[in-house]
Chain A
Amino acid sequence: KAGVTQTPRYLIKTRGQQVTLSCSPISGHRSVSWYQQTPGQGLQFLFEYFSETQRNKGNFPGRFSGRQFSNSRSEMNVSTLELGDSALYLCASSWGDRGSDTQYFGPGTRLTVL
């Protein structure tokens, strides 16, 4: 079974631009979560989708948004990019919606904002 895939793997943008990142979960998984990883703040939860509905959202500004499609694929969008948005963005998928369900991570998208 293929793992979680994320595209693109690397992105370079300039301040003020917007960006869309894509995540394809493991086949059959219905839950997709997004995390931001930076050296200063570590791993922080962005949001979670289950069956196309956003169930949880982390403490990030409204510039960060996401969605999930009927095939469980998910996208996240960051508008009006700031230098501080440079980070590794990780997507994770799981079969169910319980906290005890294992989340499987993709390799991440490395975003650099210049």
Chain B
Amino acid sequence: GNSVTQMEGPVTLSEEAFLTINCTYTATGYPSLFWYVQYPGEGLQLLLKATKADDKGSNKGFEATYRKETTSFHLEKGSVQVSDSAVYFCALTLQKGAQKLVFGQGTRLTINP
């Protein structure tokens, strides 16, 4: 089946630290990959996405590269801010005729000033 595995949380960092949140997937087809972020009391917001191998998604200083050979889509940011504190979800959909997002378990990130 299709599944997403994210690095265990919670993760606590100091402001301006480097962030990596690992994400690996298994898929029967050729998936599109997404990172969503959820702030307290809110729904999910798309952070970035990649739809084919070697694509790099980027937004707000966050980046992730679609690595087909390692079935990974790790999220990185060079210098985190307190405002980045949230829960981050890695997710996939299959390309054809399917809007079904399969999510990882989420990683809670806390940034201390």
A-B complex is real: yes
Instruction: Given contacts A42-B104, A45-B102, A48-B98, list 12 more A-B pairs with CB under 8 A.
Output: A31-B99, A43-B103, A43-B106, A45-B100, A50-B99, A90-B44, A99-B93, A99-B97, A100-B95, A102-B34, A102-B49, A105-B45
The 10 nearest A-B residue pairs measured at CB: A99-B93, A105-B43, A43-B103, A105-B44, A100-B32, A100-B51, A99-B95, A107-B43, A48-B99, A45-B100
Question: Chain B, 62-104, contact with A by CB distance < 8 Å: what is the 0/1 string?
Answer: 0000000000000000000000000001010111111111111
Interface flags for A51-82 (1: CB within 8 Å of B; 0: not) read 00001101000000000000000000000000
A42 near B44: Cβ-Cβ < 8 Å:
no
A-B contact pairs, 18 of them (CB 8 A): A42-B103, A42-B106, A43-B103, A45-B100, A48-B99, A50-B99, A55-B99, A56-B100, A90-B43, A94-B99, A97-B99, A98-B97, A99-B95, A99-B96, A99-B97, A99-B98, A102-B34, A107-B42
Contact B49 A48 (CB under 8 A): no
> Which of B45, B46, B101, B105 interacts with A35 by CB under 8 Å?
B101
A47's closest neighbor in chain B, by CB?
A: B100
Count of residues in B whose CB is under 8 Å from the partner chain: 27
Residues of chain A at the chain B interface (Cβ within 8 Å): 4, 31, 33, 35, 42-43, 45, 48, 50, 55-56, 58, 90, 92, 94, 97-108
Least Cβ distance of B38 to chain A in Å?
9
A98–B52 CA distance with the chains assembled, in angstroms: 14
Q: Find the A residue at minimum CB distance from B43.
A: A105
In whole Å, how far is A78's beta carbon from the nearest beta carbon of chain B? 19
CB distance from A55 to the nearest CB of B (A): 7
Query: Shortest beta-carbon distance, B56 to chain A, in Å?
Result: 15
User: Which of B51, B96, B99 contacts A103 (CB under 8 A)?
Assistant: B99
